[in-house]
Structure 1
Amino acid sequence: MLAGVRRSPATVFGAHAGSLPFGYDAALNVGRRERAGFFRNPSVRSTMESSTNLTPTTTRYSGTAIGLHWLIALLIVGGFWLGWIMTDIPGFTPTKLKYFSWHKWIGVTVFMLAAVRVLWRTTHRAPEMPEGIARWQKGAAHVTHFMLYLLMLVIPVSGYFYSSAAGIQVVYLGVLPLPTIIGPDQALKGTLRLVHVWLNYVLLALVVMHVLAALKHHFVDRDGLLGRMIPFVK
């Protein structure tokens, strides 16, 4: 017999159950039945399944996702506000130039945070939507979220190119000069300005739809959807 090789009782006592010692085959059958009954026990199966579930279903976003969501939301609101009032200031006053700088800093920050948010989203599964939500509403929500992420990345880039085409370098927070990819170009400047402005209008429309849908689910449907992103709301 080779050392370390584990052999079954049937191998040791013979190839057939009839060659086992008296009572040994009956004991093996009892053991098999007990093991089968143990694994058929609902409580045991539930415990084993929960212990092997590596991605448990949650009803709320993680703290990191919630923090990024609301920080980006506040920055977008601030960027909208600055973009709205700074264009109404005539000439190139110090106040207008200051607002332009703040607007650009917000755009760069939103771009970086949105990139982190997208990476986080690809590695962390979103909580399941409440039961009872129609399939078309779930599809619309997925499309809206995708468009929001896309615009949060594309709009700052369009503004960065617009500033470069205008011959104005972006200095992040007043201390970090960003490289200028394209040179001054008046024709391109006008095109990029229109692109930047209209992309912001699209983002504004999506944000309004997003907010109205969340409020509808909370106050009309009362399905708890808003509670996934607001910790103190159920």
Structure 2
Amino acid sequence: MQSSITNTATRYGWPTIILHWLIGAIFIGQFVLGFVMVRISSQRTSFELIQLHKSFGFLLLGLIILRIAWRLGNVVPTLPPSVGALERRAAPLAHFSLYVFQIALPLSGWALVSVSTLEIPTMPFNLFLMPDLPLAESDAAESFWSATHWYLAYAGIALVALHIAAALRHHLLLRDTVLRRIITPSSGGE
């Protein structure tokens, strides 16, 4: 059967699957890159990694906005019967929280580079100059946004770890279709 582009009542379509895994990989990769870039001894390498981190941050922001728009225009597959009432109420809140963190984190990074007194231009993937947000530059603002970005990163990665643990629980313990439906696309006949 031919795979579907749109979601069905039981599975996600290709765009949802690709965006899910791409955003997840970038989000986790950004955490690792952010962790490494501030701990590396070479200033040149650190600077290059920071520029790469900013580039992927803007890419993540664009992809998550696209993901949310796609989700709003598509059906969300229903949860299998094995999912209890508490989980049925918690799942939408967990997904909403993931979206909030995936938007807030790049925005806080953008705010951080916008208020930095170093005034280093941001050029995502060296393709174009990204304008700063209209925020006042100051050391105090930079400290605030740096701390905000840091706390959001750790809270976001904890939320992602919880999301992964829940998916593995469904797959390995409950043996239901929750994980499979975001791996294997819907078919045109579903």
1:78 aligns with 2:29: yes
Unmatched 5+ stretches in structure 2: 1-5, 186-190
Identity rate of aligned residues, in percent?
32
1:107 aligns with 2:60: no
1:87 aligns with 2:38: yes
Distance 2:10 2:175 in 1: 15
TM-score norm. by structure 2 comes to 0.88
The structure 1 residue matched to 2:19, chosen from 52, 68, 91, is 68
Change (3 A) 1:154 1:85: same
Note if contact 1:57-1:128 (Cα within 8 Å) is conserved in structure 2. no
Which segments of structure 1 move beyond 2 Å, counting only runs of 4 or more? 55-58, 181-184
1:169 aligns with 2:121: yes
Distance 2:33 2:163 in 1: 21
Change (3 A) 1:111 1:57: closer
1:151 counterpart residue number: 101
Question: Residue type of the partner of 2:151?
Answer: W
Distance 2:59 2:7 in 1: 32
Note if contact 2:7-2:76 (Cα within 8 Å) is conserved in structure 1. no
Query: Which shifted more, 57-66 or 93-102?
Result: 57-66
2:147 counterpart residue number: 194
Distance 1:217 1:104 in 2: 34
Aligned length: 177
- C-alpha RMSD of matched pairs (Å): 1.7
Highest relative contact order (Cα 8 Å, sep 6+), 1 or 2? 2
Change (3 A) 1:56 1:78: closer
Change (3 A) 1:56 1:73: closer
- Select the structure of larger CA radius of gyration: 1
Distance 1:145 1:56 in 2: 17
Note if contact 1:171-1:178 (Cα within 8 Å) is conserved in structure 2. yes
